[in-house]
Amino acid sequence: MSPTPHHLWQFHGGLKLQSHKAMSTARPVAKTHLPAKLTLPVQQHIGDAANLLVSVGDSVLKGQMLAEASSDISAPIHAPTSGIITDIAEYPIPHPSGLKLICLVLQSDGNDTWCEHQALENPLSTPPEELRQRVRQAGIVGLGGATFPTSVKLSTHAQEPIDTLILNGAECEPYISCDDMLMREQAEAVISGSQLIQYIVSARRCLIAVEDNKPEAIEALQQAIKNSSSQAIEVIKIPTIYPTGGEKQLIKVLTQQEVPSNGLPSDIGILVQNVATAVTIHQAINTGRPLISRIVTVTGEGVKQPQNMHVLLGTPISELIMQCGGYHDAASKLIMGGPMMGLALPTDQLPITKACNCILVENNAAEAPATLPCIRCGACASVCPAQLLPQQLFWHASSKNFDMVQDYHLFDCIECGCCSHVCPSQIPLVQYYRFAKTEIWNQERERIKSDHARIRHDFRQARLDREKKEREEKLRKKKELLKKKKRAEEANRTTADAEVDPKKAAIDAALQRVQAKKAANAAAEAVSGKEKSDEQAKQ
């Protein structure tokens, strides 16, 4: 059965690269042995680290939540098997610098005993928000490499209606074949997951994009669609050009639409999900299983038996290499991811995380050639799929002019490596862009930290000022109360005095009358005495 005819468009630039995929697709996906110890970073996603729910010494069951999402942009971590938490400390994670993060160490008990979990009955009759919450609780993130919490992407339709769901099965980077094998072997789960996503976001149609070098996957998906009787899902065969699997590039190829600079696909009514993410959504809703494992491609000329493996998260990379027959003697370089966008690892004693889709072992890796000055040939600009100006980005990034580098749309760079691949001067351009992005993010974090400190200071000062005003107001009211009390007492005394004065006035008047009478009597006696004296004198 051939895929549905669909008009395709081209994006700017890109490269035709040797695929090197056949070496890892000759065998079915193998299941790894149960490891004795699993190391689980609490941050395996973009966003905030998860909050721990367990302690050292706790016994846990397979599928049990060990750490819960700490914010909207976060994702839980679950136990990939049953056992005991033996340590919670900083351990190295897959990163070129040997970066350490807080990790849970789970010692397997060998029983692989599941916790209670159950499928959701009639999911397509369940409110979409309930399904989205189940996706969130299952710890599902984008398995194409970005590891952005999937529940957040499924909620974008609340602001912008989604018309088209695109399932990304392009898998354009050389050597990586985990999505190819997943589509071959779990096509029904891919279609089931796509139907669930369509229902959650109310998408009108679903386009499953698969590069034309994956005929078995295309055929399997077509048959699964036929079995599902879905009329809203199409498999689209697209040219094998790197990096067609980039989100914005794939949208351009399938719809001719372009995502605005610094914008999101949801801004133009499109949602893009990886095919592996769709399968984990199917598992979370239809079986109740959280994200505790994934398919990983173990490949390259440096490993003896390249193949795809179904791996429990937290499994040491060294165990995968061992189950693939070990290293060839000439093995010289270990990479997580592909040769274009992958990260060189310092050791294989690192755990598989949600972000890991491929372990690439290179043979006789040549030393990096000497870097020469830029000759302004423009080759980098001609292959840039984001239509940026890599030369200007390089100059401003190397001079740490981070304002200018943003003016040239640094954050539209998808770090595909096309520019570095064609540079005749062997300038590691992507490393400069990553450095600039990291520095800008660090500056932004410091700015936010400074703003928070200022806000805390302003809040404290406002609180002190408020408390001072409250004390002053309390003192003012107390003084006012004392004044009122004093005035009241004086008024009471005046009233009392006014009540006593009439009696006193009457007494005083009586005393005055008595004194006046006495004075009158004395004067009368004096006159009478004088008259008697005068009469006696006459006689």
Q: What is the pLDDT of residues 354-384, one digit of tens each?
A: 999 999 999 976 677 889 999 999 999 999 9
Question: What's the chain's Rg over C-alpha atoms?
Answer: 43
φ/ψ bin of 13: left (φ > 0), alpha (ψ from -120 to 50), beta (otherwise): left
Residues 236, 271: one domain? yes
CATH number at residue 309: 3.40.50.11540
pLDDT above 90 coverage of the chain, percent = 73
16, with CB counted inside 10 A (0-12, 13-18, 19+), is exposed
Q: Are 148 and 45 in contact (CB under 8 A)?
A: yes
Confidence at 151, pLDDT banded by 50, 70, 90 = very high
Distances (CA, A) of 25 to 184, 226, 243, 340, 344: 10, 25, 21, 20, 23
Would you state the pLDDT for residue 1?
Answer: 46
Distance between CA atoms of 23 and 181, rounded to whole angstroms? 12
Let me know if residue 446 belongs to a domain: no
Would you state the pLDDT for residue 532?
Answer: 65
- The mean per-residue pLDDT over the stretch 481-496 comes to 78
Domain that holds residue 420: 379-438
Residues 299, 177: one domain? yes
Residues 343, 385: one domain? no
Domain count, the chain: 2
Let me know if residue 501 belongs to a domain: no
Would you state the pLDDT for residue 534?
Answer: 63
Let me know if residue 83 belongs to a domain: no
Coil, strand or helix at 346? coil
Residues 359, 385: one domain? no
Of residues 493 and 34, more confidently modeled: 34
- The mean per-residue pLDDT over the stretch 313-331 comes to 96
Residues 305, 410: one domain? no
Over 70: is that where the pLDDT of 62 sits?
A: yes
Q: Are 452 and 424 in contact (CB under 8 A)?
A: no
Which residues are CB-neighbours of 433 under 8 A, at least 6 positions away?
A: 393, 394, 397, 410, 413, 415
- The mean per-residue pLDDT over the stretch 47-58 comes to 95
Q: Are strands 307-312 and 293-299 parallel, antiparallel or unpaired?
A: antiparallel
What is the average pLDDT value for the chain, to the nearest integer?
Answer: 91
Q: Domain ends where: 401, 420, 438?
A: 438
Let me know if residue 479 belongs to a domain: no
Q: Model pTM? A: 0.82
Q: Are strands 37-41 and 59-60 parallel, antiparallel or unpaired?
A: unpaired
Distance between CA atoms of 14 and 379, rounded to whole angstroms? 11
Let me know if residue 384 belongs to a domain: yes
End-to-end CA separation in angstroms for the chain: 179
Q: Domain ends where: 296, 331, 363?
A: 363
Q: What is the pLDDT of residues 167-205, one digit of tens each?
A: 999 999 999 999 999 999 999 999 999 999 999 999 999
Residues 397, 315: one domain? no
Of residues 497 and 49, more confidently modeled: 49
Residues 263, 320: one domain? yes
Distance between CA atoms of 339 and 19, rounded to whole angstroms? 11
- The mean per-residue pLDDT over the stretch 59-76 comes to 96
Let me know if residue 303 belongs to a domain: yes
Residues 359, 383: one domain? no
Q: Are strands 51-52 and 65-68 parallel, antiparallel or unpaired?
A: antiparallel
Q: Is the peptide bond before 243 cis (omega within 30 degrees of 0)?
A: yes
Residues 356, 385: one domain? no
Would you state the pLDDT for residue 158?
Answer: 54
Let me know if residue 416 belongs to a domain: yes
- The structure tokens listed for 115 are 């916790």
Residues 311, 424: one domain? no
Residues 357, 383: one domain? no
Q: Domain ends where: 363, 390, 418?
A: 363
Over 50: is that where the pLDDT of 409 sits?
A: yes
Would you state the pLDDT for residue 261?
Answer: 86
Residues 304, 214: one domain? yes
DSSP state of 29: P
